[in-house]
Structure 1
Amino acid sequence: MERHVIQKKYEFLRIIDRLEDENLLIVITSIRDISDDWKTGNINLLSRHSHSKEFQLDNVPKNIQGLTEVAPTQISPIEFLKLTKLYKNDVESFLIYNPK
């Protein structure tokens, strides 16, 4: 009997959207758990933690102003656990987390 090999990855993602018409800056961050079955080609993407925050464009905090988008970036299982804990205790730090 053949076994399917499932590879797990963890990713951090940040999306920043500037809505001039609505005078809003939107920051969305997410930690994703991805399972990839290389035999079947199936990908299972689970967003463990996501958070979004809105700021008025004329009142964006300095620590948020310097943020850039982060494309899905692979992080280690240890970083994943650290971020999960951080998210529960400090959403602001989670939003400004920068992967190495």
Structure 2
Amino acid sequence: MGRQKKYEFLRIIERMEEDNILLIIANIREVIKDSNTGNVNVLSRHSHSAEYPLNSVPRHIQVLEAFEPTEISPQEFEQLTKLYKNDINSFLIYTPIY
């Protein structure tokens, strides 16, 4: 029948006590599923990662929470990729509307 497209926003936050590091990965991705073959392709559009020593994590990063992939609309996808293209701090603060 064709291809189905969806957009996802994903944020992973991992606290590595032994290494004294807070690791944050944020990713906006486009997921395409071919309904004929069942194949799924993930095209990562923008991905940012940041590391902070646990004893000096900035305030705006301290309040972040990890979340599972959240579907966003094509308009939100466009807006996010333009708005946060080179702005890691703001990109990481983005919270999707559920």
TM tier, smaller: over 0.9
The equivalent of 2:73 in structure 1 is 76
Aligned AA for 1:45? V
The count of corresponding residues between Structure 1 and Structure 2 is 97
Corresponding residue SS for 1:98: coil
Range that drifts further, 12-21 or 33-42: 33-42
Contiguous gaps of at least 5 residues in structure 1: none
2-structure distance, mates of 1:17, 1:27: 6
Please tell me whether the aligned partners of residues 30 and 42 of structure 2 are also in contact (alpha carbons under 8 angstroms): yes
Please tell me whether the aligned partners of residues 10 and 68 of structure 2 are also in contact (alpha carbons under 8 angstroms): yes
Does 2:58 match 1:50?
no
Please tell me whether the aligned partners of residues 46 and 85 of structure 2 are also in contact (alpha carbons under 8 angstroms): no
Deviation at 1:99, TM superposition (A): 0.4
2-structure distance, mates of 1:52, 1:46: 17
Contiguous gaps of at least 5 residues in structure 2: none
CA RMSD of aligned residues (A): 1.0
Does 2:13 match 1:11?
no
Aligned AA for 1:14? R
Deviation at 1:5, TM superposition (A): 1.2
Q: Which has the higher helix share?
A: 1
1-structure distance, mates of 2:28, 2:34: 20
TM-score normalised by structure 2 residue count: 0.94
1-structure distance, mates of 2:30, 2:67: 16
Corresponding residue SS for 1:21: coil
After TM superposition, the structure 1 = structure 2 runs for residues 78-93 of structure 1, keeping only pairs within 5 Å, are 78-93=75-90
Could you tell me the percent identity over the aligned residues?
59
